[in-house]
Chain A
Amino acid sequence: MSRIRLEMKGITKSFGGVQALKGVDFSVNEGEIHALLGENGAGKSTLMNILGGVIPADAGEIWMDGRPVRISSPQDSKRCGISFIHQELNLIPDMTVYENLFLGSEMVSAYGFVDAKRMIQETRRILDMLGVQLDPEAIVGKLDASLKQVIEIAKSLLNESNIIIMDEPTTSLTDREIQHIFHVMRTLRSKGVSIIFISHKLQEVIQFCDRYTVLRDGELSSTGRIADTDEEKIAQAMVGKEVLKQQVYRPRALGEVVLEANGLHGGAFHDIRFTLRKGEILGFTGLSGAGHSELMEALFGYRPKTAGEVWIKGRTAVIRHPKQALASGLGFVPKNRKESAIIKDMSILENFTLASLGKVLRFGFIERKREREKFQAYREQINIKAGNPELPITSLSGGNQQKVILAKWLEADADIIILDNPTQGVDVGAKSEIYQLILELAEKGKSFIVLSSEIPEIQKLCDRVVVMYQGRVTAILDREEATEGRIMMYATGAKSQADTA
């Protein structure tokens, strides 16, 4: 049994009213690859951000090599030998490998000039140690995604880190690149470095990791050696039995086909075919980078399609701009609410009427009173918890912001609404409210396309689910067939319906 390197004890953290971590214990041994798992919102990133000194914990202790430490800033964390490699890499694409490696800690010669020669030597030494063939003077922007990861790893070795946190390093990589990264990770392990590996891909975890910890709803759900468990048990620990039982879906009669995609092509997706019926909730899922988000943006006219046609309510629809999409009855609630959906300088009311200002105009002027009346109707209908609608939209909780965005499309008479990860950044209570709302609206004849990276969400809501892998549809499953295992199989490209057909 190897020594314990890191111990986090009873870590607690809440944001506003939401408890993100409820007294979590977490420990990592010397020289191991430790998988940290959990659904989105389970508290993984909060825990790691506390370890990285990005946010402070409300309570709890951190021990390193048997001694208690205080981590209240990223600098503290670095001093303790912890490196955090984020999903978005912190590299400057126009600089060379060695310049990136030494950014902020450049070696200086006796005359006060930058000592490129020594830095190149040192870079070569570290890359050799990692077993990577790479020119220290290559420009970073031109390198493979996996090599960029390697540079980040090399950077953390330069800081003599003995704990490296990797946040979903493999999501945007090809299989070959993933092998490459794991090769490097194993080399590091053999040198006694501990790696905390955050991932959604259970297969990888089983294959490459030594131990695992699963968080669920801010609590420790399960931890142990990988050798003693399997994929199914881990998935169970992630999802939780109660949640699986919770019934949201209600069967209902579906109407005629309202939308049909016929061989759509675009940059990130190819030959997409599917239909959507009136009142249906159609799920779309896949790993990130599978192209489903891009497909929806193209369907809504935000990005170009190169071929194929879309039929909406029996007519071909030419959609090159979101305005034309709305005219065909489409609405779109994008992912990343802050960046893509809300206008943060505007009030709740102004965000609500943004897509339907034509309805509140009188002689060309906006009537505030009519805006307020319209909002009032929705406030009750879809239960938006807002005090004064004139307050900034940012004063609302994530779930209520999401409802305002949804109301915006309902008010704009959209009856086919695309929701891209609708419960992203929404707490558990508001989540089920949003599910209820979607189902109620579907019962009233609205049609939905729901993109989600959370399989339980798809299972709770959808009548059918379209699974994508590398820009192609690998399966369209009926509700009864859509088990977690089956969806994952199609989403990871292990199987395609076309193979069996």
Chain B
Amino acid sequence: MQPVPNHKQTLPKRSINIKRLWEQYSVIIAFSILIVIAAFVHENFFTSGNLINILRQVAIIGIIALGQTIVILSGGFDLSVGASLALSGAAGIAVMNHTGSIFMGVATTILCAMLIGAVNGTLITKGKIAPFIVTLGMMASARSIALYFADGGSSTGKVDGFTQIANGELLGISYPVYLFFAAVLVIYTIMKKTRFGRHVYAIGSNEKAALLSAIQVNRVKMAAYTLCGLLVGISAVIESSRLNSISSSSSGISYELDAIAAVVIGGTRLSGGKGSILGTLFGVLILGVLNNMINLMNVSPYLQGLVKGCIIIIAVLLQKREN
């Protein structure tokens, strides 16, 4: 047996700060490196047209990823976001066509998605069922209802002006990009500055301690899933307005996985309690830039999945090393 030197007290303060810096900014650093590479790889990358295009493409997944971040930070999971998008989008188009009112359609879509989130939340908190199971069941059910009502086909909007929501532009930038950044700002503020945000982090990190600190754990979780539903609803409006239709079989397919990928790349811990909205923003942007690079370089689109998969695994590997 040998004496063990005591590392704990000799650890210099500076190395702690560097570690903290890396923890907070590693996604941003990764994103910057990626941008530089992209700029070298193709001369068209750094044109404003291309950059705006990237933002437009990531807006839908981006908004969903914000909701997913909240749920994951609370120690949960939501697999139902893609199916919920299809169902609530189709419901909104149906109501809009029936009433002739865009407002009614949008309101229906958002309320429907929030309702799905609230049902998830209720089953998870009151039913005490694992979030993975509840939302997996919800994913299958919501998709099935959407398929049943559309008979497997698409619903198409019959009201003029509806497509303006996703395709309209201001200063050369389409509305969904503004919506995405507005959502980032609002959700960032909620998570960072409000009591609700603080409680979400506490629950995700240590649910028992949170409850024993007099936090209304069930209520906070319900709110997290419902808020996630709201964001899915906004995405559903954009998605249905983009092509003026929702396909019951293909809209929203694998969006849940893309959203979770963005959250994970953004450095949020999958078991909750640690992570940030800014991280998710950069996670979304990294995925967008990668897809864009693949297009610009004329690589087969079938390889997009491979690149995405590698990036997710590398991101998690790097986080592991930080701990």
Contact = CB atoms under 8 A, between A and B. Distances in A.
Interface of A: 14, 16-17, 56-62, 70-72, 300, 302, 321-323, 325-326, 332, 334, 339-346, 350, 354-355, 357-358, 361, 364-366, 408, 412
Given A354-B198, A366-B193, A366-B194, A343 B210 contact: yes
Contacts of B15: none
Interface string B143-161: 0000000000000000000
Contacts of B209: 334, 339-343
A58 B199 CA distance: 42
Interface size bucket, B side? 20 to 34
Contact of A322 (B3, B189, B212, B274): B212
Contact of A56 (B1, B201, B212, B215): B1
B1 A61 contact: yes
Contact of A325 (B4, B210, B214): B214
B213 interface: yes
7 contacts: A14-B6, A16-B8, A58-B3, A60-B1, A340-B209, A343-B201, A354-B210
List 10 A-B pairs, minimum CB-CB distance, nearest first: A326-B214, A345-B205, A322-B214, A365-B193, A357-B195, A354-B213, A345-B273, A343-B205, A355-B213, A323-B214
Given A16-B9, A17-B9, A340 B212 contact: yes
Interface in B48-76: none
Contacts of B211: 302, 322
B6 A56 contact: no
Contacts of A339: 206, 208-209
A334 B1 contact: no
A58 B1 CA distance: 7
Interface in B197-248: 198-199, 201-202, 205-206, 208-216
Q: Which of B201, B214, B273 has the most chain A CB atoms inside 10 A of its CB? A: B214
Contacts of B195: 357-358, 361, 364, 366
A341 B274 CA distance: 17
Interface of B: 1-4, 6, 8-9, 189, 193-195, 198-199, 201-202, 205-206, 208-216, 273-274
A334 B205 CA distance: 17
A72 B1 contact: yes
Nearest to A368: B193
A357 B198 contact: yes
Interface centre among A16, A70, A358, A364 (most CB of B within 10 A): A364
Given A365-B193, A366-B193, A346 B201 contact: yes
Given A16-B8, A58-B3, A60-B1, A346 B194 contact: no
B5 to A, nearest CB: 9
Given A17-B9, A56-B4, A361-B195, A344 B205 contact: yes
A408 B198 CA distance: 15
Which of A56, A340, A343, A412 has the most chain B CB atoms inside 10 A of its CB? A343
B26 to A, nearest CB: 17
Contacts of A58: 3-4
A341 B3 contact: no
Contact of B214 (A62, A70, A345, A412): A412
Contact of B216 (A70, A323, A408): A323
A339 B4 CA distance: 28
A342 B216 contact: no
Given A14-B6, A354-B198, A366-B195, A408 B213 contact: yes
Contacts of B208: 339-340
A393 B15 CA distance: 18
B202 A343 contact: yes
Nearest to A330: B214
Contacts of A332: 212
Contacts of B205: 343-346
Contacts of A364: 194-195
Nearest to A297: B212
Nearest to A391: B16
Contacts of A341: 209, 212
Given A59-B1, A322-B212, A342 B194 contact: no
A346 B198 CA distance: 9
Contacts of B193: 365-366
A81 B297 CA distance: 64
A70 B213 CA distance: 46
Contacts of B194: 364-366
Contacts of A350: 198, 201-202
